[in-house]
Structure 1
Amino acid sequence: VYTPASKEERILAPAPPAEFVDRLMIRKIAPLSIGRSVVATREPNETIVLEVIKDLGLELEIIFNKGAVMVLPSGVNKATGLAAALEDLELSAHNVVGIGDAENDHAFLRAVGFGVAVANALPKVRETAGHVTNGARGAGVRELIEGLISHDAALLDTARQRIEIGADDGSGAVMQLSPRAGGVLLAGTSGIGKSTLATALTERFVEQGFQFCVLDPEGDYEDLEDVLVVGDAKSPPSSREIFDLLSKPSNNVAVNMLGIKTAERPNAFAKLLPELAALRARTGRPHWLIIDEAHHLLPHARDGTSFALPKSLSATILVTVHPDLVSRDVLAGVDTVLALGPEADKVVESFCGAIGEGVPQGVVPPPENKVLHWNRSTGDPARPISIERPRQERKRHIRKYAEGDLGDNSFYFRGADGKLNLKAQNLMMFLHIAEGIDDRTWEHHLRAGDYSAWFRDQVKDQGLAEEAAVIEDDDSLDPHRSRAAIAEAVHRRYTAPAD
């Protein structure tokens, strides 16, 4: 790799073995060109070259180039050279257009986001490429450049760039998300599986080599595989760390905002948006953004203010339980709606009402374990689709509930007379306060079933809620024993914060 600015060179492969070159000369191979890593000749010399490689027991590969015969170290080709250059440039192959015509271009054309073959390319090369120019040789290259100037990223809306999300239950057709279309709204009632579906989508991104960034107000994605987490319940995410990590295309990042006060998270998110937009404009990355709790980070209440909003929602997934509370400006950029749960029809109706658009045909609750899919731009009716569950089942998000700030979902110890107002913003604070309050206050909430209700409705832990309900119904337990039983149940499921 040669860097013009510094005039530095980095050799990516070893030099040809001296005994190999000597043997070819002895066999009077001509023409013969010896490079720093490549040995080149012409057909039909490949037969002798292969004999020499076999006789010497060397790990070398022969690659053809329309009559040229090139010998390289095993595993070295144009694709590996491109990968090394892109690493230095901090660019992703998904944002690269490649053009070729011969046998040695196959790996290279498969590696790039948009592979092009000129009209005179070999038939198999044209099959490998996603597009074939009308012009041959230099005319084809000129045609491609003019197309890029005219259409830019619109050329990249190919099957190689799209993400498969499921199959139409009726026709069996594969449903896809295009990074060049508008945004995606992923919505449904609480606890219905939005994060599970978002997790499945991240697996598709990883499989296809797309970089993604999750804006995570409540710490729901910190256990994702193939993700680096910035921030936690005690430490707000650092902008510098976020963008240092995102500078490497192979890094996927989850921005955990639990360490930021709930009311301050929209402002913190607004400060990140311009930097994310600038990075995407400069590098095309991260390829996908996932904005969780979009109604909180992009609220309708701040429309018309100086609140920074993205001008384009391409390759952006908005996850929310309240689409009607999301910024109208943002919703207007949504192209695809994925609605979950028995009230999926109401989700679509709420979205349409928010943007002032008529409800499409086919908006009925989907069958169990199906997702209602609607693409606004095609004009097709909404339809149920089947989506494969993620391979990684999401773990309990321990830190969110054990250490984070649940905000409006916190538990309040008020007592029988309502004279107290002790806020437990997470499970560990709940146990800490429970240990210190008087027995009468503890018993009041215990017998009212308040603990099991909070575990079920706010902590979203049905198992813990059921266990707490049994304790609440056990009149034989005195306050000391019931406290201990509740505490043991919580500690068994959740890890206490480090000292």
Structure 2
Amino acid sequence: MRFHAIATDYDGTIAHDGVVDDATVAALERAKKSGRKLIMVTGRELPELKTVCPRLDLFDLAVVENGAVLYNPQSKETRVLAEPPPEKFAEALRARKVPISTGHVIVATVEPHHVETLNVIRELGLELQVIFNKGSVMVLPSGVNKATGLAAALAEFGLSPHNTVGVGDAENDHAFMRVCECSAAVANALPAVKDTADIVMAGKRGAGVTELIDKLIADDLSDLKTLARHRLAVGEADDKTELMLDPAGPGVLVSGTSGSGKSTLTTAVLERLGDAGYQSLVIDPEGDYTTLEFATQVGTPSHAPQTSDVTDALKDARRSIVVNLLGVPLADRPKHFTQLLPAILEEKARTGRPHWLVIDEAHHMLPAGPESAALAPLLPDRGILFITVHAGTMEPAVLANVEHLLVIGGQPADTIAQFCKATGEKKPKCPAVEGNKLPTGDAMVWHRGDPTAVVVHTHRPRTERKRHSRKYAEGNLGAERSFYFRGPEGKLNLKASNLFLFLQMGDGVDDETWEHHRAAGDFSKWARTQIKDAELADELEGIETGDADPAESRAAVRAAVVSRYTLPADAPSGIVD
């Protein structure tokens, strides 16, 4: 289920002349039985609302006073969400014969008294805002509106606005409707509200809300999976056509040769999802996403992530989660992932989150075979992203819901061909690429079923993913991923298990050994395949093919590394085996 909450205005939306009719009450009851939360969002003050709405008990929460107060009809608890204006403000209005009512926070009047109200605000030097609603005038602290009140209500349930439908009719409904994943206007709504709503109902007031509820129950608004206003730009073609990602769309596969920048591209996608308020959960087998500032890290190189750690992190709808599997033995990581998956999917069924499940090293986590095939039906059909070097070795059933391929690095057409062979798809026509290798930052994009693929220039992440990564700077990459200074005759066996030791040993080896590895291109190969930093590899390759002497090339290599990574001042903290 995508939509777990319905947020509705009262007057002019579910109510006509202050009264909710029986048919609308019945529809609200059906909505509750479907498992969805009902949240009222109104400008009315609570005592007045209780008088006109005898079925307030149908709602899980009520946001009143236009976002300033939260009321729980079940517990009768009232929570004030903002500081009220100073008493001198109401006193000044009364002294000028302005008719007002006051709540916990709100000070309300009617037009044309807004002119005198604004004068008083200016004269007293108050930081207050005036909100209009069909002739009513509401004064609240700056920044308080129906959207902020709805956010507080959703937080009570651990729900996201991206799993909420908002429905309203008037000026003051714009704010909360805009933050909802889907906004609906009843037929009697003001033209400005209809113009900005995602859907306009055929029915007026309660009849329109009933229509909306019945659509939700019938198919969860499945025809609205591609709301254009939520799409995120992740790149552009030479003709400036934007490559857009639908946050509620089908699966994505990021694939490419080792060290080509798959994690950099994925980081850019994750940033844009996070900026838009979507929660992602990244299964990170190799610790490549430990520096994402907008994500909570679960698991460390010395501590395997537990199910309770993951479910606790998922409670905060505002933050994404990175599940670091470095603390799990390599061979056990697929099994550990399958043990975590049920709890992740249970939370998604309950709240709609995480909005995106991102699985790195997908060829290792979900290789072709019966175990992965058994998992395939459990995986989300939308909002899933796989990252892999070997698309053709993944379980075909897992790839069934992948509709978009973003391929980077060398042999991009071959990578697409591997996917097509694994899935039985007809191979598209792929554009020629100079040297059969895409430039850093470019991706070959294929939408499954299209006759041709295209090349786009992907948007860079705001921050360099590896710049402060302690894993590569001073951690322990292990025996297989370390650099070995062996010399021209293979007499040496000096292991550098991180960049700090690589530079330290590089300064200490003799010129003959250094030049042997430089001439062989070993430095750039290591950076590309084991450090997985395409930009660093490109710069090192330029140093390797240059004519600098040993001292100059050592200095250039050190400068290239230091410009991208924060190295420790003293000895590395990782244990070196």
| Contact 1:118/1:132 (8 A) holds in 2 | yes
1:497 match: 573
Name the SS of the counterpart of 1:224 in structure 2.
Answer: coil
Aligned partner of 1:388: which letter?
H
**TM-score, L = length of structure 2:** 0.72
Query: Cα 1:401–1:271, aligned 2, differ >3 Å: closer, same or farther?
Result: farther
- Paired residues in the alignment total 483
| Contact 1:405/1:426 (8 A) holds in 2 | yes
1:323 match: 391
Name the SS of the counterpart of 1:360 in structure 2.
Answer: coil
2:90 match: 21
Question: What does 1:132-143 correspond to in 2, within 5 Å?
Answer: 132-143=200-211
Shift of 1:277: 1.2
Shift of 1:303: 4.4
2:238 match: 169
1:106 match: 174
For residues 267-291 of structure 1, give each alpha carbon's deviation from its aligned partner in whole angstroms, at most 9, with x where no partner exists: 1111121111111111111212221
Aligned partner of 2:241: which letter?
A
Report the identity percentage: 43
1:280 match: 348
Higher mean C-alpha deviation, range 145-154 or range 353-362:
145-154
2:289 match: 221
Query: Cα 1:429–1:390, aligned 2, differ >3 Å: closer, same or farther?
Result: closer
Name the SS of the counterpart of 2:404 in structure 1.
Answer: strand
1:36 match: 104
For residues 372-408 of structure 1, give each alpha carbon's deviation from its aligned partner in whole angstroms, at most 9, with x where no partner exists: 111125x352212222222212225441574345575
1:3 match: 72
What is the aligned counterpart of 2:461 among 366, 376, 390?
390
For residues 388-445 of structure 1, give each alpha carbon's deviation from its aligned partner in whole angstroms, at most 9, with x where no partner exists: 2222122254415743455754679999999x9x9979449999xx9xxxxxxx99x9
Shift of 1:117: 1.6
| Contact 1:101/1:118 (8 A) holds in 2 | yes
For structure 2, the 5+ residue unaligned runs are: 1-69, 506-512
Question: What does 1:146-161 correspond to in 2, within 5 Å?
Answer: 146-154=214-222, 155-161=224-230
Query: Cα 1:132–1:308, aligned 2, differ >3 Å: closer, same or farther?
Result: closer
Higher mean C-alpha deviation, range 290-299 or range 160-169:
160-169
Name the SS of the counterpart of 1:221 in structure 2.
Answer: coil
What is the aligned counterpart of 1:184 among 235, 240, 252?
252
Higher mean C-alpha deviation, range 118-127 or range 321-330:
118-127
Query: Cα 1:174–1:466, aligned 2, differ >3 Å: closer, same or farther?
Result: closer
| Contact 1:181/1:335 (8 A) holds in 2 | no
| CA distance in structure 2 between the aligned counterparts of 1:447 and 1:337, rounded to whole angstroms | 35
| CA distance in structure 2 between the aligned counterparts of 1:119 and 1:73, rounded to whole angstroms | 31
| CA distance in structure 1 between the aligned counterparts of 2:500 and 2:114, rounded to whole angstroms | 74
Name the SS of the counterpart of 1:300 in structure 2.
Answer: coil
Query: Cα 1:165–1:2, aligned 2, differ >3 Å: closer, same or farther?
Result: same
| Contact 2:476/2:574 (8 A) holds in 1 | no
| CA distance in structure 1 between the aligned counterparts of 2:443 and 2:341, rounded to whole angstroms | 29
| CA distance in structure 2 between the aligned counterparts of 1:374 and 1:194, rounded to whole angstroms | 16
2:446 match: 374
Asked if 1:145 corresponds to 2:213, the answer is yes
Aligned partner of 2:91: which letter?
D
Query: Cα 1:120–1:298, aligned 2, differ >3 Å: closer, same or farther?
Result: same
Over aligned residue pairs, what C-alpha RMSD do you find? Answer: 4.0
| CA distance in structure 2 between the aligned counterparts of 1:306 and 1:376, rounded to whole angstroms | 24
1:438 match: none
Name the SS of the counterpart of 2:340 in structure 1.
Answer: helix
Query: Cα 1:194–1:210, aligned 2, differ >3 Å: closer, same or farther?
Result: same
For structure 1, the 5+ residue unaligned runs are: 435-441, 475-481
Asked if 1:346 corresponds to 2:414, the answer is yes
Name the SS of the counterpart of 1:176 in structure 2.
Answer: strand
**TM-score, L = length of structure 1:** 0.83
Aligned partner of 1:160: which letter?
R
| CA distance in structure 1 between the aligned counterparts of 2:479 and 2:280, rounded to whole angstroms | 27
